[in-house]
Amino acid sequence: MASGFFALLDDIAALMDDVATMGKLATKKTAGILGDDLAVNAEKASGFVSSREIPVLWAITKGSLKNKAIILPFAFILSAFLPISIPIILTLGGFYLAYEGAEKIYEYFFPHEHHVEATVEVKTEADILELEKEKIKAAIVTDFILSVEIVIIALGTVVEHPLMTQIIVVSVVALIATVGVYGIVALIVRMDDFGLKLINLNEQDDSFSDKIGKVLVNALPWVIKSLGFIGTIALLLVSGGIFIHNIPYLHDLFHALPSMLAELISGTVIGFAVLLLINVFKKLKPKKA
């Protein structure tokens, strides 16, 4: 009986060792999309009244946890009963990521003509709360798309391992993604408020606290823009890595290049190819009267 107990402990230790090893690999694979997730959510969570930023962010966080609670079971069912679908979904997700990265670059150099929306007159607190709910819903929908990408990429790194290892690793990565991303977003959106508190800390002009506070206040827009740039590059790298590891032709074509350069080239080229096809399709699509 004692030997059976120690054998069980040995099995648990082996499982946790596999989980730790694969968890590091899965986290590394999803780091790129987490950068984009961070940039998108920092932008979505900003622009609210100071007193409402944390409550809004908490509402989005709860929506993100619900999203992952929906996505994870479906992902594990596919892995258990149709494992061949994982690399296919992963590659399709790579096309979407590459397109998204290319579209952001194209938008930067050739801004789209945005339709001017009618200004909504906000009169009451109920109107403000209604607009807030709409923004929260939009942020949760965006999070759902990003969560699918994170879960599938993480699952793709452990798809050949036992199901229990897959469940633990992918669930841990999904939890870290939610807590880590929204925790950092909370710090970012409150950065300017903390800067204002430092500025108002004393009545002295141009004091040390004033200088630090002004740096924090002025840095917030640049931090969000920087995250957007980093997230765009990350999208191309992540998608390129997916293509190279799942499309043998590309793996053979770029095998002589450094992996990061190969991933960036393949992600960028395929992303702009998809962008071109979508733009051509939009132009050929008949307009509604």
Q: Could you give the percent of the chain with pLDDT greater than 90? A: 8
Tell me if 89 sits within 8 A of 152, measured CB to CB.
yes
Residue 125: the pLDDT is 64
Please check the confidence at residue 3 and state whether its pLDDT lies above 50: no
DSSP H or E stretch at residue 176? helix 163-189
Distance between CA 112 and CA 133 in Å, rounded?
Answer: 27
Q: Which residue would you say has higher pLDDT here, 275 or 100?
A: 275
Q: How high is the pLDDT of residue 152?
A: 80
pLDDT band at 15 (very low <50, low <70, confident <90, very high): very low
Cα–Cα distance, 21 to 72 (Å, whole number) = 20
Task: With a cut of 80, say whether residue 246 has pLDDT above it.
Answer: yes
Is it the case that residue 25 has pLDDT exceeding 60? no
Per-residue pLDDT of 106-116, as tens digits, reads 988 887 654 44
Nearest CA to 246 out of 278, 270, 275 is that of 270
Q: Return the pLDDT at 49.
A: 60
- Is 172 within 8 Å of 18 (Cβ atoms)? no
The predicted model gives 157-186 an average pLDDT of: 80
* Residue indicated by tokens 């990521």: 97
Most distant CA atoms of the chain, gap in Å: 79
Lowest mean pLDDT across 58-72, 176-190, 251-265:
176-190
Pairwise pLDDT comparison (130 vs 3), residue with the higher score: 130
Residue 45's pLDDT is 59
Kindly compute the dihedral angle of the four CA atoms of residues 139, 217, 31, 104, in this order, to the nearest 10 degrees.
60
